[in-house]
Structure 1
Amino acid sequence: MARIVAQLPAVSQRLQGRYNRAMAVPIFSIPVEISADSPCIGHCTTVLGDEVCRSCLRTFDEITRWVEMNETERRAVNWRIALLAKPHSSI
């Protein structure tokens, strides 16, 4: 367990770097097939202090604001997550 906890900062830093690159994508380029459904799978790591959840790849702010977001905002978050899921993409 201690070894896993020691690895958490490195994982969080890698996700933050990928998140920053994905945020550079313009909102008008979001494909229509990206849904507005919540990507939550019920294993949130923001309770461990992560800024970006390692399960759903949303930021703490996105998670807390999800119910207030409109469909376009939710689709934008899901598009960014789709881009993050492709670590070798050219964003």
Structure 2
Amino acid sequence: MPAQHPGDMASQLKASLDNLEAVLAGAEMTLADVVNLHVYTTDVDTLLGHFGVLTARFEGTGERFASTLLGVAQLPAPQLLVMLEATAMD
């Protein structure tokens, strides 16, 4: 499956967060249950320019979690700019 929104970091970040929320909802969880979040990106500077997209989504959850931002040479699909990996606990 080709990456959605090629070249658009903000849209890929929003889509990644939508997917994360959908997976959490399937387990009857929310973003408030996230205890660890790894963010992988091929462009750290551009991601940091859109970091508000990520923080805004977690705003109001009342939870703090460990996080890591990792710059990588490439992701599984050539058009991907960002990928999230989360651990959640109920």
Instruction: Settle same-fold status: TM greater than 0.5.
Output: no
TM-score (structure 2 length as normaliser)? 0.31
Structure possessing the higher radius of gyration over alpha carbons: 1
The structure richer in helix per residue is: 1
